[in-house]
Amino acid sequence: MQDLSVTIFQQDLAWQDAPANRAQFERLLPAAAGSALALLPEMFATGFTMEPAACAEGMDGSTVDWLREQAALHGCAIAGSLAIEEGGAFRNRFLFARPDGALEHYDKRHLFRMAGEHHGYVAGSERRVIEWQGWRLCPQVCYDLRFPVWSRNRGDYDALLYVANWPARRREHWRALLVARAIENQAWVIGVNRTGVDGKGIDYAGDSVVIDPWGRVVLDAGSAAGVHRVTLAAATLADCREKFPVHLDADAFCIGATADGV
C-alpha cells in the first residue's frame, strides 16, 4: 500500500449556476496534476440547493460528462457531489470519476431536514467503499458526519471522505466531529467544505481539514478559498492500527431496517 496524494478544492460556489462553477473548477484543476484524487465540495455545481427540479442533472448530463473529461485530462480521480435526477427522483449523489471514464457513486443517506432536504431528495440506502490506488475510500456527504454508526469502520476502509456545505455557525461541530470520526475509526479523514455566502444568505467558513488516524490535524485550510495538496501516509495508518488496536475490542452491530425498509 503506497501513500495517497490528494488535492482538495475549498472554493466559493456560484448559486445554482453549473456552467460558472464548472468553469471555475476547470481553471483550478491543473493544480491537481500528479495527485491520485481531487476532491470538490458538496453540490459543487449549484451550491446546496433545495430546488432540485430546477437544478438537478441526469447521469448523462453536462456536469457528469465534465467530471469524466476532467478526470481523463488530469490523470486523476475527481469526486464531489451533485444534485442528480434519476427515475423521477432527486438524489444528493457523491460521484467518483476515474481517469478511464469509469464512474462510481454514493447517495447521501442522511438528508438535512432543517433545510428541508428530505422533502426534495430521496435518501440513499447503501454505504459504499471505493477502491482506488490501493486504498479503500468511504464517501460520505455533509450531514452524514453526525451519524457515527453509518460511518463505523468494519475493517473495510482506510479513509473517510466528507464533502460538505457546512455553515459557519456550526463550524465547531464540523471540526470536533471530523476528529472524532478519525479517532474512533482509526482512519484518515478528509473534510472538504465550501466558502462564501450562498443564495439563501448562509455563510460558509471553509475549515476544510485532513486528519490522521491518531486524530492529529495534518492540514487546516482555514477560511479562505484555496487549493491544498496533502499526502495520506500509509505508514501512519498501519502504525496506528498496530500499536493501538482498539478495533479488536469493538462491539458487533448491524444496521436494522426502518419503517420504510431502509
Q: What is the pLDDT of residue 262?
A: 40
Q: What is the pLDDT of residue 260?
A: 44
Q: Which of 176, 123, 125, 107 is nearest to 146 (CA)?
A: 176
Of residues 55, 76, 142, 240, which has the active-site annotation? 142
Q: What is the pLDDT of residue 161?
A: 98
**Is residue 108 annotated as a catalytic residue, yes or no?**
yes
Of residues 57, 76, 104, 108, which has the active-site annotation? 108
Q: What is the pLDDT of residue 59?
A: 97
Could you write out the DSSP letters of every residue in 35-52? Answer: -SEEE--TTTTT-S-S-H
Domains of the chain with bracketed CATH: 4-249 (3.60.110.10)
Of residues 42, 57, 104, 117, which has the active-site annotation? 42
**Is residue 240 annotated as a catalytic residue, yes or no?**
no
Distance set, CA 251 to CA 69, 154, 185, 257 (Å): 43, 10, 13, 19
pLDDT per position as a tens digit, 115-137: 999 999 999 999 999 999 999 99
**Is residue 142 annotated as a catalytic residue, yes or no?**
yes
Q: What is the pLDDT of residue 257?
A: 52
Which residues of the chain, if any, have pLDDT below 50?
Answer: 258-262
Neighbouring C-beta atoms of residue 181, cutoff 10 Å: 23
Q: What is the pLDDT of residue 256?
A: 63
